[in-house]
């Protein structure tokens, strides 16, 4: 039922926590987690009626209506406080990093967070580091020629230096991800070197990231020697 990306997200779910899947769309993750007995129940939300109708179809097809509640909500905003307090783990997957950040900024939670950004991954990391979130585990997967990442994190209030690979599981997929990112960054920097109108802050950010990635790749080379 789950593809490689959603299986990766599923692998990060803490056992036994009431789940909230934000932007659920098809609701496959929540249904699968409830079927496997990994979560005692779930709330699945979406901003739009269409995706929520798709979610309802999946929930009904799997006879999960007693286990999974569906709700229209913009991020965390429309979840009633009593229900919000009951949630042990929020998943925000399949969205851009900026959107995930804006959802986290609008209502605070210190519960488990499983985040799976599709873009602006390093920008989201910067937000987490600067706003007191600890990344406990970070995983990577490949589906065809696409690479994805997901992270399990929780607010502890400690401010951190930029740490884009804190908690990373250093497997083959991690190093493949680094290679792809390095390629992307080098292309972006090359493009900037030909442009007259360069965002200096963004350029500095990319250069910093390039150094961090190269140092992670060198560490591996040294370990293998
Ligand atoms: C690409 S789908 C991802 C579905 C699923 N989470 C996954 O990872 O496969 C993104 C979903 O997020 C929903 N969405 C976008 N902005 C949202 C917001 N602010 N609050 C809740 N859902 C949102 C969209 O309507 C869409 O159904």
- Domain end among 137, 169, 201: 169
Task: Verify that 150 and 177 share a domain, yes or no.
Answer: no
Ligand 1 atom nearest to CA at 91: 6
Q: What is the structure's pLDDT at 220?
A: 81
Tokens 């080379």 belong to residue: 221
Nearest to 107 by CA among 88, 134, 80: 80
Would you mind telling me the total number of residues written for the chain in this entry?
A: 225
Average pLDDT, the chain: 96
Task: Verify that 47 and 34 share a domain, yes or no.
Answer: yes
Q: Please count the structural domains in the chain.
A: 2
Which residues form the domain of 184? 173-224
Alpha helices in the chain (DSSP H): 4-11, 28-35, 49-61, 81-86, 97-106, 121-130, 172-193, 200-224
Ligand 1 pocket mutation, candidates 1, 33, 53, 95, criterion most atoms within 8 A of CB: 95
91 SS3 class: strand
User: Over the Cα atoms of the chain, what is R_g?
Assistant: 19
Task: Verify that 68 and 107 share a domain, yes or no.
Answer: yes
Task: Verify that 137 and 213 share a domain, yes or no.
Answer: no
Q: Which residues pair with residue 71 across a beta bridge?
A: 45
Task: Verify that 114 and 217 share a domain, yes or no.
Answer: no
User: From the CB of 52, is ligand 1 less than 6 Å away?
Assistant: no
Asked if residues 22 and 102 have their Cβ atoms less than 8 Å apart, the reply is no
pLDDT band at 113 (very low <50, low <70, confident <90, very high): very high
Asked if residues 174 and 168 have their Cβ atoms less than 8 Å apart, the reply is yes
- pLDDT tens figures, 115-152: 999 999 999 999 999 999 999 999 999 999 999 999 99
CB atoms within 10 A of CB 78: 13
Domain of 102, CATH number, reads: 3.40.50.150
Å from CA of 130 to ligand 1 middle: 25
Task: Verify that 85 and 138 share a domain, yes or no.
Answer: yes
- pLDDT tens figures, 143-172: 999 999 999 999 999 989 988 999 999 999
User: From the CB of 25, is ligand 1 less than 6 Å away?
Assistant: yes
Q: What is the largest CA-CA distance in the chain?
A: 59
Task: Verify that 130 and 47 share a domain, yes or no.
Answer: yes
Task: Verify that 119 and 157 share a domain, yes or no.
Answer: yes
Task: Verify that 67 and 99 share a domain, yes or no.
Answer: yes
Tokens 């769309």 belong to residue: 25
Ligand 1 pocket mutation, candidates 8, 11, 20, 25, criterion most atoms within 8 A of CB: 25
Ligand 1 atom nearest to CA at 74: 20
């Amino acid at each position: 039922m789950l593809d490689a990306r959603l299986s990766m997200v599923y692998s990060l779910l803490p056992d036994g926590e009431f789940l909230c899947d934000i932007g659920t769309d098809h609701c496959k993750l929540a249904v699968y987690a409830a079927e496997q007995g990994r979560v005692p129940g779930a709330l699945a939300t979406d901003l739009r009626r269409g995706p929520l109708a798709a979610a309802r179809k999946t929930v009904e097809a799997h006879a999960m209506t007693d286990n999974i509640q569906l709700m229209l909500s913009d991020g965390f905003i429309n979840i009633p406080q009593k229900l919000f307090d009951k949630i042990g783990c929020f998943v925000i997957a399949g969205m851009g990093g900026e959107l995930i950040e804006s959802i986290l900024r609008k209502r605070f939670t210190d519960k488990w967070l499983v985040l799976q950004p599709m873009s602006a991954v390093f920008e989201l990391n910067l937000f987490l580091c600067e706003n007191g979130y600890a990344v406990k585990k970070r995983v990577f997967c490949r589906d065809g020629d696409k690479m994805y990442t997901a992270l399990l994190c929780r607010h502890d209030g400690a401010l951190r230096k930029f740490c884009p690979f804190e908690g990373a599981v250093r497997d083959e997929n991690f190093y493949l991800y680094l290679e792809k990112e390095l390629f992307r960054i080098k292309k972006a920097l090359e493009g900037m070197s030909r442009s007259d109108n360069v965002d200096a802050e963004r350029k500095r950010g990319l250069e910093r990231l390039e150094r961090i990635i190269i140092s992670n790749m060198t560490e591996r080379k040294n370990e293998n020697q």
